[in-house]
Structure 1
Amino acid sequence: MTTKQAALSHLKVLDLSRVLAGPWCTQMLADLGADVIKVERPGAGDDTRHWGPPFLKDADDNDTTEATYFTACNRNKRAITLDMAQPEGQALILKMAARSDVLVENFKVGGLKQYGLDYESLKAVNPRLIYCSVTGFGQNGPYAERAGYDLMIQAMSGMMSITGHADGEPGGGPTRMGVALIDVLTGIYACSAILAAIEVRHRTGEGQHIDMALMDVGMAVLANQAAGFLNTGKVPQRQGNTHPSLAPYQTFETLDGSMLLAVGNDGQFARFCEAAGHPEWAKDGRFASNTLRVKHRDVLIPTLQAVTRSRSTAQWIALLEDKAVPCGPINDIGQAFADAQVQARGLRVDQAVTSSQPVAGAMASIATVASPLRLTATPPVLHRPPPALGEHTDEVLAELGLDALQVAGLRQRGVV
């Protein structure tokens, strides 16, 4: 993350989204240099500002009123408060949309039409506008009117049915992922769609409407599991940390805990066997190929497990790391951020908090995770930390041509 001019520094993005999927998309655009203006409800703001604990800490290690959740997906944005239910608020959004390249919203289907802020209305004032709608189920279909949340989609898409241990095992049953991953992936897909639409606009001069649905993304990211079902008719089942198509590809107990062994081909398996002191396993008629190893998994895994318990996790990693056999520890998040590779890549970012952020109080900085996008010529930038509610309202309205007296009037009437 640098202060250089970035890839999308020429773009203006109007962010009417909240919670995670939409804000994740707009944070990606902001990290790439776009000027993103986040619009929030006066006095309340994005729901995730209040989704705590955990909360941000002040200089004395006391909780503030700002949830850490909000900081995960709102870095590099300018934040204003605006009541779009009021005609004056609608007029201001219309004015901003006329100057924007991209608009991202995650209201229910048709939710913005009552305010005259739907795609067709805004297209009339800005034909170049790329308008991205993020909903649970998309703009059409029998569920289009339903609200959609990540956990619902994890359940409905089948994702939970393949996550967790089998019913007959301890702790068995459908399990949600530890992160709202479908929200995050929807944000990433939305960002990709927006960049594609920008490329199309270079050729046609026109924007377009993008219809992103969590359900669509939830089904798409079933990946190999969906492909297996669609082409065989066999419904995949939960199998804990094992892999339906690879073996050995799972967790193994060690002398002092556990490790992850991820063998993806026969060469890796042969090198593991040699390092483990059992080269004969790679030539065994039951284990000589991946398909055979999967078929004879019930024999293979206990055989390997008896050996993996003979060394510590660190000893196994040291033994295998120069032999191109994927192997690693099972870290908690604290251990992951302490990892030498994570630190070398600079994946923790600490951004100074300005005095204009009243919620942050006496905090010196806010920590976030660096963008994983590493462009050599136009790297991601760090403009500003996650904003306080309404932090840039006066600044943005001044850019629209409003003077201090007009802004004060809007504030008095509860518009901002």
Structure 2
Amino acid sequence: MPTSSQQSALAGLRVLDLSRVLAGPWASQLLGDLGADVVKVERPGAGDDTRAWGPPWLPDGKGEPTDESAYFLSANRNKRSITIDLSKPEGQQLVKQLAANADILIENFKVGGLQQYGLDYNSLAALNPRLIYCSITGFGQTGPYAARPGYDFLIQGMGGLMSLTGRPDGTEGDGPLKVGVALTDVMTGLYASVGVLAALTNREKTGSGQHIDLALLDVQIAALANQASNYLVGGVVPRRMGNAHPSIVPYQDFPTSDGYMIVAVGNDGQFSSFCNALGQREWALDERFATNPQRVTHRAELIALIRSVTATRTTDEWVDAMKAAGVPCGPINSLDKVFADPQVQARGVRVEISRPGMAAVPLVANPIRMSVSSIDYQRPPPALGEHTMEVLTNWLAMSEADIADLRMRKIV
């Protein structure tokens, strides 16, 4: 919670969130953490698809499972939920009114999907020229794939990430693998947030909003970083290398007597310290291994030698030895060990938000730390339609009678 001397950086901004699943909700959650008023528009009776993506489910105050999935909880704190039937003209009109009062709109409908309702960028910009309208799709608003649906798993494959992830061909368990979380969606949400904040800065200069076109495929390729650059510069298609690094050795996992550890040697000085800690000082003087380019060339020989030594002691013993030697090293933690780690606990990475009649909602904290502005955890992920009356009253000044009429006609 913020202190009395702190203020949320985005306090006063209004975000209309028409997105669902992960990429869009991740972006709007981040804006909500930074203080924006985020209103999530959901389908009556069903809501965001991820509400049903369980188990596990959040328990109620008695420990019994509810219909709130852990997946939904991960991306929807600091939002208010309103249900609106977009298929009905009255529902479309409500969203237009909300957009007229919003600073930012985030949506992830298929290309052209909102145009039939008059909720596309051009239609809403005519009502609110200051509106920043962020569209998130699998392949973008243009190009031969624009009309195709795109999901994280599909994009990890098409965008090259899976070609780089997994064990090398010809080894046990070889073949491409996806990352263990929907990383492309998460990265797209982060890029969306950056784009929105840039558009806000531009609006301060020009007075006008704009349309942001974000594609999961574009984001995935952009996030290939050095691997994409290696291909563009060197012309060689990178291959799967398991946990090894294409340009740095040793930079991978190694077996210990009770598991595995990660060693991340970034320069020749660290390699010398690493050899000393292993009791193999002569390796640092060997011309095959003395410099990183030589270690890359003689990777197989060196890795075999290192493995024969690391397997003789436990992970904890090696981590302690490498820590004393100044060599980056650590265990491969399961999530129970992650959240039990003293560094993780000291940084407050786990937070809980109370919710009346329910168990407290455990969540992962926003990792941004600012010296002046606060990160707030004011609202737990909302129940479906929980804030319909509140939002229509706050944003549109509607009367209780008018809202009751909308409910009776199943518009909200």
Q: TM-score scaled by structure 1?
A: 0.97
Counterpart in the other structure of 1:79: 81
- Partners of 1:306 and 1:155 lie apart in 2 by 35
SS at 2:317 equivalent:
helix
In the alignment, what sits opposite 2:293?
291
For the residue of structure 1 that corresponds to 2:191, the secondary structure is: helix
1:52 aligns with 2:48: no
Task: Name the counterpart of 2:256.
Answer: 254
- Percent identity over paired residues: 58
**Contact kept? 2:59, 2:359, Cα under 8 Å:** no
Distance in 2, matches of 1:398 and 1:23, equals 23
Aligned with residue 387 of structure 1, among 382, 389, 401: 382
Q: Secondary structure at the match of 1:384?
A: coil
Q: Distance in 2 between matches of 1:274 and 1:198?
A: 53
- Which residue does 1:374 correspond to in 2? 369
Deviation at 1:336, TM superposition (A): 0.4
Paired position in structure 1 for 2:406: 410
1:26 corresponds to which of 5, 28, 36: 28
- SS of residue matched to 1:281: helix
Q: CA deviation at 1:103?
A: 0.4
Q: CA deviation at 1:334?
A: 1.1
Q: Is contact 2:58-2:359 (8 Å) kept?
A: no
Q: What displacement does 1:149 show?
A: 0.3
Pairing 1:12-411 to 2, within 5 Å after superposition: 12-354=14-356, 362-399=357-394, 400-411=396-407
Whole-Å separation in 2 of the counterparts to 1:410 and 1:167: 60
- Cα displacement (A) at 1:60: 3.8
Give the C-alpha shift of residue 63 in structure 1.
2.1
Q: Distance in 1 between matches of 2:27 and 2:326?
A: 35
Cα deviations across residues 40-65 of structure 1 (Å, max 9, x unaligned)? 00000000000112221234433211
Contact persistence 2:138–2:216 (CA under 8 A): yes
Cα RMSD of the aligned pairs, angstroms, is 1.1
The one-letter code matched in structure 2 to 1:411 is R
Tell me, which stretches of 5 or more residues in structure 2 are unaligned? Answer: none
Which residue type is aligned with residue 371 of structure 1? Answer: N
- Tell me, what secondary structure is at the counterpart of 1:258? strand
Which deviates the most, 24-33 or 322-331?
A: 322-331
Distance in 1 separating the partners of 2:67 and 2:145:
36
Query: What letter corresponds to residue 78 of structure 1 in structure 2?
Result: R
Cα contact 1:150–1:181 (8 A) shared by 2? yes
Report deviation, 1:94. Answer: 0.8
Which whole-Å CA distance do the structure 2 matches of 1:252 and 1:204 have between them?
A: 55
* TM-score, normalising length: structure 2: 0.97
Structure 1 residue runs without a partner (length 5+): 355-361
Q: Is the 8 A contact 1:373 1:379 kept in 2?
A: no
The range that moved more, 48-57 or 127-136, is 48-57
**Partners of 1:240 and 1:365 in 2: how far apart?**
39
- TM-superposed deviation, 1:322: 3.4
Greater CA drift, 4-13 or 44-53:
4-13
SS in 2 for 1:154: helix
Amino acid of the structure 2 residue aligned with 1:348? R
The residue that corresponds to 1:358 in the other structure is none
Distance 2:315 2:92 in 1: 59
Q: Do the aligned partners of 2:63 and 2:359 also contact (CA within 8 Å) in 1?
A: no
Question: What SS does the aligned partner of 1:237 have?
Answer: coil
